[in-house]
């Protein structure tokens, strides 16, 4: 969702702005590593422009600067896409209430061994309006 928010805008961007103001943000070392690697890979593959790359790097840096770093101790294997488990591990370590994502593999999860609401950016925006 962060790539969409910072490189393309729209609903994901609105959700990120709301999260900045209304929630605590958490990040793990695995996520920091991904945030360093993904923008350059997307630009190299022609999926984003140089301008979008700058916006993405700037946005990810602002997330990293505001977020609390957590250190997951438990490895999880809950998601169809094994790469997405690092997000769940971060949420578990942070005791997070929400995971905001556009990832269909994460959104399809129905039963977790811990309390976590996985919401699309649109659902998060709707939830926080009340």
DSSP string, the chain: -HHHHHHH-HHHHHHHHHHHHHS--EEEHHHHHHHHHHHHHHHHTTSS-HHHHHHHHHHHHHHHHHSEEE---S----SSSGGGHHHHHHHHHHT-SEEE---HHHHT----SS--EEE-HHHHHHHHH-
Residue 128 has pLDDT above 60, yes or no: no
Q: What is the mean pLDDT of residues 39-55?
A: 95
- pLDDT, one tens digit per residue, over 60-110 is 999 999 999 999 999 999 999 999 999 999 999 999 999 999 999 999 998
pLDDT of 123: 95
* Residue 122 structural domain: 2-129
pLDDT of 3: 87
- pLDDT, one tens digit per residue, over 9-44 is 999 999 999 999 999 999 999 999 999 999 999 999
CATH classification at residue 75 = 3.40.50
Number of domains in the chain: 1
Q: What is the mean pLDDT of residues 113-130?
A: 88
């Amino acid at each position: 969702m962060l790539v969409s928010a910072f490189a393309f805008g729209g609903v994901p961007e609105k959700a990120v702005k709301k999260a900045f103001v209304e929630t605590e943000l958490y990040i793990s070392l695995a996520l920091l590593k991904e945030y360093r690697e993904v923008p350059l890979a997307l630009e190299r593959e022609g999926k984003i422009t140089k301008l979008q790359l700058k916006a993405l790097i700037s946005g990810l840096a602002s997330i990293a600067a505001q977020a609390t770093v957590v250190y997951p101790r438990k490895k999880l294997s809950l998601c169809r896409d094994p790469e997405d488990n690092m997000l769940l591990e971060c949420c578990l370590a942070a005791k997070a209430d929400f995971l905001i994502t556009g990832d269909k593999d994460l959104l399809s999860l129905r039963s977790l061994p811990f309390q976590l609401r996985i919401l699309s950016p649109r659902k998060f925006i709707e939830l926080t309006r009340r």
